[in-house]
Amino acid sequence: MSSTPAGTRDGGTQDAAPAPAGRNRAAKVSAFFALGGVAFLGNFATGIALLNPPVFIALAVVCALIAVVTGHVGRFRGRRLAGEGRGLALAGILTGWLVLFVCALAILALVGLVAGIAALSDNV
């Protein structure tokens, strides 16, 4: 048995620490921005987003696009890291696409509303 303390080498220096869990940062970024997109759309339920809807929809779209791109990067990195973070990256990708779909529906509803008002107010 060695007389050196656990975790040290012969010269008394510390061994390198094991790699920290959660090395797939892209997967975490994807999940963060996906939740950000959901939060921006969730502001419509509180009513605060009704003050300026295009800003909240645009912010949700930007967050969703970042979530999709970084989610794909996270899935690729997860393949090299023995599957670490691949599920989180997939959740970010799916949530990002869902947010983009909801934003597209909101934009179509807004365009339809404006077209309907224009057709009703036409006095030709």
The CB density around residue 35, as the number of other CB atoms within 10 Å, is 17
Task: Specify the long-range contacts of residues 50-56, CB closer than 8 Å, at least 24 apart.
Answer: 53/106, 53/110
Higher pLDDT, 12 or 72: 72
pLDDT digits (tens, 9 = 90+) for 32-47: 999 999 999 999 999 8
Largest CA distance in the chain: 99
pLDDT digits (tens, 9 = 90+) for 56-103: 999 999 999 999 999 999 999 988 888 888 999 999 999 999 999 999
Higher pLDDT, 88 or 10: 88
